[in-house]
Structure 1
Amino acid sequence: MMSIRALRLAALCVALLHAGSAVAAEPIVLSLLTNRTGPSSAVGARVANGMRDYLEMLNQRDGGIGGTRVQVEECEVASDLERGLACYEAARKAGAVLVSPPDRALTRALVEPSARDRIPLLSLADGFPIGTRGDVMPWVFNPSAWVLGGLTITVSYLAEKAGGLGELKDLSIGLAYSTGADPAALATLRDLAARYGFATPLFALEETERDDEVWERIGRQPPNHLILLGQGVQAGISVERALKVGFPADRLIALRWPDEAVLRKAGSAGRGFKEISRHAFGDAFPAFDEIDLHVVDRGLSRTPKTGSGETHYNRGIYNAVLLAEAIRNAQRRGAPGALKGEDLRRGLETLSIDDVRWKELGLSGFARAVAFTCMDHGGHPPGFVQVWDGAKWLPAAGPIPQMSEAVDARLDQVVAEFLGANPGWPARAEPCDQPPT
């Protein structure tokens, strides 16, 4: 017969097993709103694949994050605002502790509901710089909104090639941009031109037949360098048309990346084309081998074998790392019970990934140190310059820091304009020198 002590021990073991099962039965629910279809599908599918593959690798290899599985719920929005709002509502009802919208319009539309529901947004939207200001939008995190910083990195790179910032004075640095581009980006480039004395001709692209006239004008009076600020299909079209009018590829530099198929199609004519990125391209990192082993080779990925390491896929990896590390951070801070939205916001606002941690993650050289704060929800990451050699990307320069003074000055102006246009905008509930409640 079992002793009373043994019975008590057995009962305790059963209770612990049930407790463990209860914890395991409550995964961390994340909602990924995707553009796998529609006008942004060329970018959206690859970003979504990168995010899913990294998080699924953690599930398969480690049993999740901190012993808790991550449940990624995808909802296709196809760049449609109404579908996006419906997806958010479904995510809220499903208990998501974070929602990741893919574009600027949807991010803006979700600012108020996410704050009401205390669900942080990890936005993938370029051209939404105010989403990096935690004092104004405390529930929005936007590491992608770095066009302002990216422009300063571009100018720093061109200055280095010319022999210093003082050598920019006699240069012409043009910008070909989609007409929907953030006005703050144009203002930032004008600020830099005024400060360093270079000319900055601006070429608005309407995505119509009239663009042919714009590219012909560029071909007739080419600037010394041309920055491309398009996205999705437009990014690739800009490259094709620039090469068609004879603009040299090695004087083109992009802030938003074209599909690599465009560059492969260009053949040797595309050699020397450059891009600015907050992370490296390619898959020569141990973490990618782990993804292949635990996800791709097991048939758990939607990524084709040739898709790993592609520019937009790596952007998804980058964002997934930030998210996973923020979850770890929230767990370390000892939030009781299941992770909630406010816990994850706290994890994001105190996120710091240094070079040592990137190496521990199997991503040494993939990106450089980045940190968020209560005020800074974008991280001000440095940039890499990547160059296309006709078949693949190679590192050309970096890391190059942002000109933080210029970026912050423009952000202050963006905030002032936003608050002026939105009187009564609610102030952050708690000051930045206090932890979120």
Structure 2
Amino acid sequence: MARRTFRIAVAAALALMSASAGALAEDILSLPNLSYRSGPFASTGAPLMNGQRDYMAMINERDGGINGVKLGYEECETGYSLLKGVECFERTKATGIVTQPWSTAIALQLLSRSNADRIPILTPGYGFSAVSDGQIFKWAFNLPASYWDGVSMILRYVSDGNLEALRGKKIVLLHLDAPYGEDPIPLLRSLADRHGFAFVPIPVGIKEMQNQSAQWQRIGVENPDLVLLWGWGTMNAGAITEAVKVGFPMDRFIGIWWSGHDGDLKGVGEAAKGYRSLSWSAPVSDSRAMQDIKKYVLDPKRTEIGEGEFDWVFYQRGVLISMFTVEAIRVAQEHFDSRIVSAEQLRWGFENLKLDEARLAEIGVTEMIAPFATSCEDHTGHSGAWMLEWDGSKFVKQSELLQADQAVIVSLVEAEAKKYAEANRPWAVNDGCAP
């Protein structure tokens, strides 16, 4: 199976980069992706990478690329390893005009050298939340929403918009024992102090992901009013399976967007009915973009995906992630009057995205994502998100669009961004944001 997956990935990359005899003479933009189709996170990594790959393949097949320039989607396998991630970055940075670390730990490692490497770091919906501060983090983007946005939206949702209603309650954060799982902790501690709820972080090591009995015994002792799941890969399935096993109520169990993967819930099925996951993306399989992927890529067998994957949250989120890059390239091409954009120009494109309702409709992704825009000061955009609920067989929208309370987040962003810059001096800020 691993060998077959490798062959498919290689074939897909070759197909994206060249389909004609004169392919070597074509204009191609190198768009590396530090993927993981192997290791403990492969089950969640694969559909995300497939969605990204297939959207770019569709643009190449349907439109001939962007203004005649083909998209050279390339994967470098990391297995979610920090060491391999850095190796992949070093291998691809000479020609790549963007990098996607696909790991908060790898993203932090690259962030420390971003001003020197001068390549945009795209961490869509993950990574260090403080990179929202575009003046400090010139090269990093975590659009369309950060983990701190996610914390705020979840707590506003469960409290009906009044966090004072959480006073006296207890909230557990069941999180991967890694930078990804630790990122929401500063905001949760701050909000707990402000609004008088008890906050209990419970880490899960990578070796414990499939056997969380100790963590759930602790949860049983704590008897929290809410468990937040910041899981990834097999940790998600392990947590949900254990919750069902111990009889923890699903209406008191909510995950961040990376803990809302159809594949993780399929094995539990009806028993996990009512589990919810916040998500800045929503699957809309009959949207024009999705149907064009089916027409131009999947039906002709130019790539392959797993059974049912087309309708999954993660596959369609991967589609949207590639849409971000495609739109940033379009914006940069127009602004700089250049078909072949550089890494510096693409950075400007990511910084000047305006994905309003009209543009999302033109792209064909209406209702798949909420409108948002980035700027020199704001590298996130804060699109908002929906609460999705598992109905026993699939995720469905369970709420209206939720928004984070930026008033409680902005001070933390400013403080953590400033702290990072001071710890990594000399640190070059984005002078373009100066008034």
Q: TM-score range by the shorter chain?
A: 0.7 to 0.9
Q: Superposition pairs for residues 260-299 of structure 1, below 5 Å?
A: 260-299=262-301
- Could you say which residue in structure 2 is the equivalent of 1:158? 158
- Paired residue for 1:6? none
Count of residue correspondences: 410
The letter of the residue matching 2:387 is: V
* CA apart distance, 1:154: 0.1
Change (3 A) 1:268 1:211: closer
| Corresponding position of 2:216 | 215
User: Which residue number corresponds to residue 73 of structure 1?
Assistant: 74
Q: Does 1:334 align with 2:336?
A: yes
Structure 1 distance, partners of 2:322, 2:200, is: 37
Provide the residue aligned with 1:188 in structure 2: 187
Partner residue in 2 for 1:84:
85
CA offsets, 1:174-216, max 9 Å, x none? Answer: 2212232454511211222333333333323335569423312
Structure-1 residue corresponding to 2:48: 47
Query: Would you say the 8 A contact 1:29–1:73 is kept in 2?
Result: yes
Contact conserved, 1:352 with 1:372, CA < 8 A, in 2? yes
- Residues 252-263 of structure 1: pairs in structure 2 closer than 5 A: 252-255=253-256, 256-257=258-259, 259-263=261-265
Q: Give the superposition deviation at 1:257.
A: 1.5
In the aligned structure 1, how far is the partner of 2:346 from the partner of 2:221? 53
Aligned partner letter, 2:214: E
With structure 1 as the length reference, what TM-score do the two structures score?
0.87
Q: 1:9-28 to 2 correspondence within 5 Å?
A: 25-28=26-29
* Bigger mean CA offset, 55-64 vs 234-243: 234-243
Which of 409, 420, 423 is matched with 1:421 structurally? 423
**Does the CA contact (< 8 Å) of 2:354 and 2:373 recur in 1?**
yes
Alignment of 1:1-400 (within 5 A): 25-93=26-94, 95-111=95-111, 113-124=113-124, 126-143=126-143, 146-160=146-160, 164-181=162-179, 183-207=182-206, 211-255=212-256, 256-257=258-259, 259-336=261-338, 338-400=340-402
Mapped to 1, the partners of 2:379 and 2:333 lie a distance apart of 20
1:33 and 1:101 in contact (8 A); partners too: yes
DSSP 3-state at the match of 2:173: strand
Equivalence for 1:9: none
Tell me which residue corresponds to 1:411: 413
Q: Match of 2:170, as an amino acid?
A: S
Please report the RMSD computed on the Cα atoms of aligned residues, expressed in angstroms: 2.5
CA displacement 1:307-343 (0-9 Å, x = unmatched): 1131221221121111111111111113346211111
**Contact kept? 1:131, 1:145, Cα under 8 Å:** no
**Displacement of 1:297:** 0.9
Long gaps (5+) in structure 2: 1-21
What are the Cα deviations for residues 23-57 of structure 1, in whole angstroms up to 9, with x where unaligned? 97212221111111122211211111111111111
SS at match of 2:27: coil
Q: Deviations over 1:71-95 (max 9, x none)?
A: 11221122233332332233233x2
Does the aligned pair in 2 maintain the 1:37–1:78 contact within 8 Å? yes
One-letter amino acid matched to 1:212: S
Structure-2 change in CA distance of 1:273 and 1:89 (3 Å): same
1:128/1:145 contact within 8 Å kept = no
The C-alpha deviation readout for 1:348-407, integer Å capped at 9, x for no partner, is 111110112112211111111111111221222201100011111110013111111112
CA distance in 2, matches of 1:169, 1:111: 37
Q: Percent identity?
A: 30
For 1:147 and 1:226, locate their aligned partners in 2 and report how far apart those are by CA, in whole Å: 16
**8 A Cα contact 1:103 1:125, kept in partner:** no
TM-score (norm 2): 0.87
Name the CA distance, whole Å, in 2 between partners of 1:287 and 1:326.
Answer: 17
Q: Distance in 1 between matches of 2:45 and 2:430?
A: 34
Shift in Å, 1:124 = 4.7
Task: Note the C-alpha offset of 1:112.
Answer: 5.1
Counterpart CA distance in 1 for 2:278 and 2:332 is: 31
Quick check: 2:144–2:372 contact (8 Å CA) kept in 1? no
Is the partner of 1:57 in helix, strand or coil? helix
